[in-house]
Amino acid sequence: EVVGVFAQPDEPAGRGRSIVPPPVKKLALQHRIMVHQPPSLRGSCELERLASLRPDVVVIAAYGKILPEPLLRVPPRGCLNIHASLLPRHRGPSPIAAAILSGDEVTGVTIMVVTKVMDTGPIVAQRQVPVLPHDTAGSLSQKLSGLGAELLMDTLPKWLDGQLAPQPQ
């Protein structure tokens, strides 16, 4: 059960600079899931709001900000991040472009435990996919987002049941 979604605030986009919500907000609203869009997660109000939802685990995907340490302690099963590379390769904000620019023949997704330092937590699961000669950042991004969703659906029940042991990077 998804108890809530925290997303980046809506931002201006495109030529007309009209305000556009992040894709996760659109999907959450379609499924009648509560959405919060605080400008920051550092305030005690947002920490209390998250804690009031009593999540077993928090899942992060393409959030783009370092989470405050007190937030990482809220869910009993921790915070998991879906990262679009086979960590430890291509840490950071542009792993898809980095894989293409490096000429990688294979890339993938990693589900890892979130720690204080970005993209360094222990690995819970990984799945790989070939990088084809005609792949672009857009096509690879689509492949990896689908792969990440599948991996999360396979991994999350096992993680919540304590069947997976994270491995250091």
* pLDDT on residue 65: 78
- Measured distance CA(20)–CA(22) in Å, rounded: 7
Q: What global pTM score does this model have? A: 0.90
Radius of gyration of the chain (CA): 16
Query: Does 37 score more than 90 pLDDT?
Result: yes
Q: Give the pLDDT mean for 130-148.
A: 95
Query: Does 89 score more than 90 pLDDT?
Result: yes
pLDDT digits (tens, 9 = 90+) for 63-74: 877 888 999 999
- Measured distance CA(160)–CA(77) in Å, rounded: 7
Query: Does 144 score more than 80 pLDDT?
Result: yes
